Amino acid sequence: MAKQKKLSWRQRIKRGARDICWLIVFVLISSTAMDWWRSRDIDTSQVPVESMRLLDGRQQDLIAMSQHDPVLVYVWASWCGVCRFVTPSVDWLSGHAQVVSIALRSGSDKHIAGYLAHHGYDFPVVNDQHGNLSKAFSVKVTPTVMVVEQGKITSITTGFTTPLGLWLRLAL
């Protein structure tokens, strides 16, 4: 058996940095492919539902809201594990951008209002108790984040995302 040459600390750091770069590339390609696969059935040419009723009774018109500034549409569920990590980012973003969220099969209006109060979330929520709204959007995975601009869906992502990722989707 041949003796292996011992690497210097600089060589180890260089090799580690290269491995991290390849890992980042792999994760980006994988997540992009997963987003494409999960959202391939979503019609992006128009928003399927114009007006939605929020928990507080107000109506939200996505097409009208999206005429001047993009709107982040966040489909989530109180029972969704990944949503527990994404929802705080959406809550933070709602203080800086237009956000409408859709609570998928998460119970009654009272239950969702209690969930929001318990966690201190303050973004607008539509209760999709039976999944009809999510079905109209062709959403199959929670969380799903869509950006709506001028009545059209311009960006879709599923699964985990960061505050920076959300902000960049709205800004680009």
What confidence tens digit (pLDDT) does each residue in 104-156 have?
999 999 999 999 999 999 999 999 999 999 999 988 889 999 999 999 999 88
Q: What is the pLDDT of residues 53-108, one digit of tens each?
A: 999 999 999 999 999 999 999 999 999 999 999 999 999 999 999 999 999 999 99
Nearest alpha-carbon partner for 97 in 65, 60, 72, 62: 72
What pLDDT is recorded for position 159?
A: 86
Q: How far apart are alpha carbons 76 and 144 in whole angstroms? A: 7
pLDDT of 30 strictly over 80: no
What pLDDT is recorded for position 83?
A: 96
In sequence order, the 6+-apart residues with CB closer than 8 A to the CB of 85 are 160
Domain boundaries, the chain: 8-40, 51-171
Q: How far apart are alpha carbons 161 and 110 in whole angstroms? A: 28
Classify 51-171 by CATH class.
Answer: alpha beta
This prediction has a pTM of 0.79
C-alpha angle 90-105-37 in degrees, rounded to nearest 5: 65
Q: Which two tokens stand for residue 128?
A: 């999709």
Q: How far apart are alpha carbons 51 and 53 in whole angstroms? A: 7
User: Contact at 8 Å (CB) between 77 and 158?
Assistant: no
What pLDDT is recorded for position 118?
A: 97
User: Contact at 8 Å (CB) between 134 and 80?
Assistant: no
